[in-house]
């Protein structure tokens, strides 16, 4: 490996590194504003100046490739003078309004001016004044503070794939803005707030809410989709004020979606804080004893096979297991978690996870999308696909039209016939898949809802196995699960292993065979209530509560501990950041109350549930790690092919769950999207 000398210390570096990166290897911190490791190099700010032997002047370390034999110095008087000069220029037009700036306490300019700033400026000219720009309901602008680092411009173009931010003017008069000053049409738009090193771009919903040093910070995971983005939940007292991304290069890198970030204002809206009982066709406030007594009475009045339970999209594994134990005690096995009829083979784990892994997308050399729109179903996964497309020029094909995915792709067909051709080696795509070293096939829930969903999944799997494409090193078979709870619930065997007909719950629900329906955080189950007695246990007065005869208030994902499995089968821990509101309880505590009132002694504490969950997970290695790879055999499940059109189910992206539907911010984003869809503008 080549070597470079930094401050008299010789270190090895990898070819292709910049001087700045080499300095980091030597544990030398270099100040920077424009440089970011996930973005292209701009070399705008010049704050990263260092001294290089034989160079007549300091060099920008972020843009200078490291080379063998270089002698770099970062702590000389020349370097310090150069950086102070750069800082003086940066502050020449800065309003110096730190006391009223939301970036205060988290500002790179503030921190670095402490070391390189001066107490008095030599510039006496009037400072520039830039009017506030409109960037939508999420991003608050104060562009007078802008130092022209262009991080936001590069992120929008390179990562988000929506090049809507650019610059007008030149030099000192340059201004960063969205074209026509409209809202950004990206699900990742608010990441520019984190990227901004000054207070030019701040959070509009969070404006003047709290100072960073006042907040309690809790590391957790996101449940708005199945990606499992790593997040930090910031609370003031017991109220969640904001959600920020945590670095995890295997999952979300250092980005999160706008829904993950801003749906948190819905955590306290439309909350259920006391039990309710329906009297005279109207829900009325009650208490725990009265509500649970009525529930137990109704359970005893019906047969076990007439009782059914449905588990919602954000329920953690411990609570789901507690729910299953409760149903075992009342001798009912009518449990379901799918919101619609879509085929899933739960006999082995590789049948329902993203086997190639999120990080593995960057290693792929061909991607085939089947009946999925990853941009809306898993925004962070879509960003990873774009990264593979931009950096490696990976060819992307789609069966079914997903719309704008922020990268180029080729639609092969919108019929299931094309999939049959691939399986029978009658398509050009067959040869491309077989000749690729690391192909990726992503199957969406929309195609699994089709009549031929079983055929499509099982035969694609057999096609890959027969052609030796599935191995310990690489598995191209991927299911794009949409809900955060799905993979964990499949591991807990909430629904039995695959049979000829695994839609028993839905069929019985449609045929009105259930007399008591228990909804656990379930707000998206589409059914028409008739004479069923409905119990809803959840956090928000959403769709489930509208149908309920009994409402039991429970905690949200930020108010209780719990494990979640993301779409790639990675088990992660969601930490408790705040406390349940009013009389609301954690779900497992409610189950224990019911069991005690029934006169049974089978209650379990949280630690017991956690232990049983971990023992139930197939191929489990340890927390935050991918599941162990296992070999797979040809499927012997019989299935029939049906020629059908593949239509990708359109998601109401900002309204996918009870929390986001309660969020004012998400409502504003949704209105803008609907306006764009209607007349092509969001002004």
Average pLDDT of the segment spanning 252-264: 96
DSSP H helical segments within 501-574, as ranges?
Answer: 504-510, 543-547
Distance in angstroms (rounded) separating the CA atoms of residues 491 and 612: 12
pLDDT at 269: 94
- Distance in angstroms (rounded) separating the CA atoms of residues 362 and 546: 44
How far apart are the C-alpha atoms of 1 and 593, rounded to whole Å? 64
What's residue 99's pLDDT?
92
**Per-residue b or e along 14-46, where b marks 16 or more CB atoms closer than 10 Å to that residue's CB:** eeebbbbbbbbebebebbbbbbbebbebbebbb
What average pLDDT does the segment 37-60 reach?
94
Q: What is the pLDDT of residue 639?
A: 83
CA distance 202 to 66: 35
Mean pLDDT of 222-229: 96
Confidence of residue 682 (pLDDT cuts 50, 70, 90): low
Quote the Cα angle for 404-406-410, to 5°. 65
Among 54, 6, 56, which residue's Cα sits nearest to residue 30?
6
* Strands across the sheet containing 396-399: 410-413, 396-399, 366-370, 439-444, 477-480
- Bridging pattern class, strands 139-141 and 49-52: unpaired
Determine the average pLDDT of the residues in 622-651: 86
Question: Bridge partners of 354?
Answer: 478
Kindly state the tokens that stand for 631.
């070999």
Does 140 score more than 80 pLDDT? yes
What are the residues whose beta carbons fall under 8 Å from the beta carbon of 9, sequence distance 6 or more?
A: 26
Q: How confident is residue 181, by pLDDT bands cut at 50, 70 and 90?
A: confident
The region, left, alpha or beta by phi > 0 then psi within -120 to 50, assigned to residue 21 is: alpha
Please say if the pLDDT value at position 158 is more than 60: yes
Confidence of residue 619 (pLDDT cuts 50, 70, 90): confident
Res. 329 pLDDT band, cuts 50 70 90: very high
Cβ-contact 243, 264 below 8 angstroms:
yes
Phi-psi label, residue 626: left if phi above 0, alpha if psi -120 to 50, beta otherwise: beta
Average pLDDT, stretch 550-561?
A: 97
pLDDT for 173: 87
Q: How far apart are CA 315 and CA 659, in angstroms?
A: 13
Token pair for 497? 């292993």
Indicate whether 309 pLDDT > 90: yes
Confidence (pTM):
0.94
pLDDT at 621: 84
Mean pLDDT confidence for 146-156: 95
Q: Is the separation of the CB atoms in 557 and 218 below 8 Å?
A: no
Please give the average per-residue pLDDT across 278-289, as a whole number. 94
Given the DSSP bridges, would you call strands 59-60 and 335-336 parallel, antiparallel or unpaired? unpaired
Of all residues in the chain, the percent with pLDDT exceeding 90 is: 85
Q: How many CB atoms lie within 10 A of CB 437?
A: 10
How far apart are alpha carbons 617 and 613 in whole angstroms? 7
pLDDT at 499 over 70: no
DSSP annotation of 680: S
Q: Tell me which of 530 and 181 has the higher pLDDT.
A: 530
Query: The tokens 């040093």 sit on which residue?
Result: 213
CA angle 105, 110, 113 (to 5 degrees): 150
What distances in angstroms separate CA 49 from CA 8, 16, 62, 582, one per listed residue?
17, 19, 8, 56
Burial of 292 (0-12, 13-18, 19+ CB in 10 A): buried
């Amino acid at each position: 490996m080549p070597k470079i000398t930094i401050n008299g210390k010789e270190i090895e570096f990898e070819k292709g590194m910049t001087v700045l990166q080499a300095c980091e290897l030597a544990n030398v911190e270099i100040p920077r504003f424009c440089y970011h490791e996930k973005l292209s190099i701009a070399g705008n700010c010049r704050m990263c100046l260092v001294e290089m032997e034989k160079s007549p002047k300091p060099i920008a370390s972020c843009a200078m490739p490291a080379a063998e034999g270089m002698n770099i110095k970062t702590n000389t008087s020349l370097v310090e003078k150069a950086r102070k000069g750069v800082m003086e220029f940066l502050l020449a037009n800065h309003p110096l309004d730190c006391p009223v700036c939301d970036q205060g306490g988290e500002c790179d300019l503030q921190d670095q001016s402490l070391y390189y700033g001066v107490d008095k400026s030599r510039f006496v000219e009037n400072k520039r004044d830039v009017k506030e720009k409109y960037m939508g309901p999420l991003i608050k602008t104060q562009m007078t503070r802008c130092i022209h680092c262009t991080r936001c411009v590069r992120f929008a173009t390179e990562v988000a794939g929506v090049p809507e931010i650019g610059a007008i003017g030149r030099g000192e008069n340059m201004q960063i803005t969205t074209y026509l000053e409209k809202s950004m049409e990206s699900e990742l738009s608010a990441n520019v707030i984190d990227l901004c090193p000054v207070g030019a771009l701040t959070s509009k919903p969070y404006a003047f809410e709290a100072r960073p040093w006042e907040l309690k910070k809790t590391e957790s995971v996101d449940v708005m989709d199945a990606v499992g983005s790593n997040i930090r939940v910031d609370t003031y007292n017991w109220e969640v004020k904001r959600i920020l991304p945590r670095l995890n290069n295997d999952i979300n890198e250092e980005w999160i979606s706008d829904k993950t970030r801003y749906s948190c204002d819905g955590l306290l809206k439309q909350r259920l804080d006391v039990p309710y009982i329906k009297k005279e066709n109207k829900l009325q406030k009650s208490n725990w004893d009265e509500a649970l007594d009525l529930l137990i009475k109704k359970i005893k009045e019906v047969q076990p096979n007439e009782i059914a339970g449905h588990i919602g999209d954000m329920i953690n594994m411990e609570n789901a297991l507690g729910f299953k134990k409760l149903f075992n005690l009342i001798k009912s096995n009518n449990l379901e978690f799918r919101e619609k009829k879509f085929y899933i083979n739960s006999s082995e784990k590789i049948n329902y996870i993203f086997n190639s892994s999120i990080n593995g997308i960057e290693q792929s050399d061909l991607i085939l999308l089947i009946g999925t729109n990853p941009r809306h179903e898993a925004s962070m996964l879509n960003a990873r696909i774009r990264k593979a497309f931009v950096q490696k020029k990976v060819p992307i094909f789609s069966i079914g039209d997903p719309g704008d995915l922020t990268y180029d792709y080729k639609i092969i067909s919108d019929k299931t016939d094309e999939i049959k051709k691939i399986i029978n080696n009658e398509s050009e795509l067959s040869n491309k898949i077989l000749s690729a070293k690391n192909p990726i096939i992503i199957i969406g829930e929309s195609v699994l809802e089709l009549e031929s969903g079983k055929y499509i999944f099982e035969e694609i799997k057999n096609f890959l196995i027969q052609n030796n494409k599935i191995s310990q090193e690489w598995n191209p078979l991927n299911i794009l699960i949409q809900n955060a709870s799905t993979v964990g619930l499949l591991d807990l065997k909430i629904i039995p292993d695959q049979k000829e007909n695994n839609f028993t719950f839905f069929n019985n629900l449609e045929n009105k065979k259930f007399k008591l329906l228990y909804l656990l955080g379930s707000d998206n189950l589409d059914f028409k209530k008739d004479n069923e007695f409905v119990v809803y246990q959840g956090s928000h007065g959403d769709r489930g509560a509208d149908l309920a005869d009994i409402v039991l208030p429970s905690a949200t994902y930020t108010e209780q501990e719990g494990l979640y499995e993301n779409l790639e089968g990675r088990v992660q821990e969601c930490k408790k950041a705040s406390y349940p509101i009013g009389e609301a309880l954690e779900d497992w505590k409610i189950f224990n109350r019911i069991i005690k009132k029934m006169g049974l002694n089978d209650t379990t504490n949280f630690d017991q549930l956690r232990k049983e969950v971990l023992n139930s997970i197939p191929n489990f290695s340890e927390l935050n790690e991918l599941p162990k790879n296992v070999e797979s055999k040809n499927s012997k499940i019989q299935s029939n092919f049906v020629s059908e059109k593949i239509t990708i189910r359109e998601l109401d992206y900002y309204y996918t769950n009870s929390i986001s539907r309660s969020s004012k911010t998400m409502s504003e984003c949704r209105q803008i999207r609907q306006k764009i869809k209607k007349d092509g503008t969001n002004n």
